Every structure is written in structure tokens, then in C-alpha cells.
């Protein structure tokens, strides 16, 4: 089907009308959408969100593990302080001392003295 020539001809008036519609229609759609959303918000009853109180989770601590030292150690006993005069074996056997699982291991007495174990 052929359209008449006057309907398919591009004129200065049709160009201006196309530019106006190209700018005006998206702006009007945006304004209409904002008004519609505002009407939707106002028509809904206000709701409050209730969050449950978090339950604290208990944290269980693990007591330090005392590792027995081998009896046939070739490495010399090294202490952290030269004036300490406490050996690794003495520190491990003392009541209340703990062994830290580090490399090299460290024995800590109840009074705070530290002895570095064999490598």
C-alpha cells in the first residue's frame, strides 16, 4: 500500500515536531512515574520492621596444651634471658607453666618468665 506523498515528506515543521516530542515524552513519562510512585507510597499503610535481638554465642576457650619434650635432644637448651638460669625441662615440669605452640616452642612460667625450647 502506497502512502500519499504529503504524509511521507520531511518538512521543517515535521522536524521541529519530532524534536519536541523526542524531548517532551521522556520528561513527561518521568514526571508521571514519580507522581504514580508517590501515590503508591501514600496508599500503603506504614509498617515497622522488627529485628530480633541477636543471641550472644558463648565462646569456649581451650586450655593450652603442654607438649612433652623428647629425652634424646641434641640441640642445646636456649633461654630467652641469660640471667634466667631456668632450663626448658625445669620450666615444663613447673606447676602452672604453659607451653606456647610456636616455632621454636616457648614455655611460660606462672610468674611470667619465658624459656625458648629446643629447635
> How far is the CA of 103 from the CAs of 66, 76, 106, 118, in angstroms?
14, 15, 8, 9
- Is this model's pTM higher than 0.85 or not? no
DSSP code per residue over 56-91:
PPP-PPPPPPPPPPPSS--SPP--S-TT----HHHH
| pLDDT of the residue at 64 | 75
- Per residue in 63-95, pLDDT tens? 777 777 666 555 555 555 545 578 888 888 888
In angstroms, the Cα distances linking 33 to 16, 21, 24, 30, 41 are 26, 18, 14, 5, 12
CA 92 to mean position of chain CA atoms: 40
> How does DSSP classify residue 116?
E
Q: pLDDT grade, residue 21 (50/70/90)?
A: very high
Domain spans, the chain: 9-43, 74-119
Amino acid at each position: 500500500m502506497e502512502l500519499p506523498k504529503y504524509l511521507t515528506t520531511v518538512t521543517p515543521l515535521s522536524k521541529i515536531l519530532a524534536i519536541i516530542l523526542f524531548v517532551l515524552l521522556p520528561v513527561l513519562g518521568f514526571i508521571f512515574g514519580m507522581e504514580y510512585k508517590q501515590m503508591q507510597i501514600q496508599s500503603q499503610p506504614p509498617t515497622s520492621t522488627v529485628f530480633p535481638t541477636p543471641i550472644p554465642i558463648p565462646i569456649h576457650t581451650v586450655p593450652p596444651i603442654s607438649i612433652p619434650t623428647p629425652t634424646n635432644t641434641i640441640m642445646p637448651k636456649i633461654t630467652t634471658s641469660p640471667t634466667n638460669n631456668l632450663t626448658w625441662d625445669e620450666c615444663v615440669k613447673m606447676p602452672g607453666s604453659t607451653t606456647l605452640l610456636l616455632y621454636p616452642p616457648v614455655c611460660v612460667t606462672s610468674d611470667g618468665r619465658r624459656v625458648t625450647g629446643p629447635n
